Amino acid sequence: MHVLRILPLSVLCGWAIALAETPANTTSGTADTNRAVIVELTDGSRLFGTPSLQALPFSNALGVLTIPLAQVAHVDGTFSQTNLVAMINGDRLSGTPTWETMRLNTIFGTVSIGRSNILQLSVLTGKGNLPASLRDGLLLHYIFDTHDSGTIPDNSGQHCAGSYYDADWGTSLGMGGLLVCNGANTRVEFSAETFPTGTAPRTLAAWVCQDTVTGGRFYVFGYGGNPRGSEFRLALNEFTPGQFSLETGAGGWHADISLKPRCWYHLAIAYDGGRTPRFYVNGNEVAIAGTWTSPLIRTLAEGGALGMRRNQEGGGYLKGQIAEVAAWQRALRSEEFRTLYQLRPSADYANGVTN
């Protein structure tokens, strides 16, 4: 039986500022139901909800710009002054808002917020949306918003659907759909026959939150076979609690970071054919801390899995949640990892945990 669990957003701090709406220059229109937002207020409060607008009007040296909400990642700066608008395609625009209040549909009902009381606005991406640049070389993309008859659909367009076993499902205000792994037998298996082999370039990325870092090694996402050097898997707690590693089969690399339990992280590894793998955590590259047993990369196109190690070794079942995974047949650039991280701007709020 598969149970849908609603995971709480317990860091909501209150919503003291709900101002009377100003008739002139008020944002209006049909709510964009695919674009929920996190609104940080100047008094330290935070609200999650769906705004009754489809675009943000700003004024700058180019004139009055109407920026579609679907293209915005986040807006920084007190809204009574000049703001910096970060777009999901990497553009950054400076401007001053030309609206006075925002209506926000929340669990408390509809509230109106004066723009001078907004410190930051972050936009959750629509389901499965990736900028065009990040679809280049995409091999697999699971977002866990739907699942039917034992199958996870693939949003990459490459027809790499997965089969799930003993899975539970959840949702989070920050992360969207979740695969909930029980640490015993939850897994998703997929065909890796089109994935890079040998020393060909590739990237793996996943949002993950582990319940504990002391329960032995966990395998998050990867593929490969049994001979030495034939695997390519994101691994956690390989030898010590909190480790983030690349398991290549009887060897691998460790990142110079210690992960905490019950915290969401965006973890990624890029390999550019013959070079040392690069590790990224929350959009930033982290150094290599060390290796074990002279690691090799000569990957085989088999054994694709989430939440466990799918080869003769087996095991390594993850106890925690996975929110989104993706794989590419190229090594992503540093700025692309930052964009990937920013596509989930409210990750720090998921389950009431901040990194």
Express each pLDDT in 35-91 by its tens digit. Answer: 677 788 888 887 877 887 778 888 888 888 888 887 776 677 667 667 777 676 667
Cα distance between residue 266 and residue 277, in whole Å: 16
What is the Cα–Cα distance from 180 to 324, expressed in whole angstroms? 12
How does pLDDT run across 206-253, given as a tens digit for each residue? 999 999 998 789 999 999 999 999 999 999 999 999 999 999 999 999
The CA angle 229-234-239, to the nearest 5 degrees, is 80
Positive or negative, the CA dihedral 18, 23, 25, 30 is positive
d(CA 146, CA 152): 7
Return d(Cα 203, Cα 61) in angstroms, integer: 39
Domain ranges of the chain: 4-123, 132-352
Q: How far apart are CA 113 and CA 97, in angstroms?
A: 14
pTM of structure: 0.72
CATH code that applies to domain 132-352 = 2.60.120.200
Least confident of 100-109, 131-140, 154-163, 194-203: 100-109
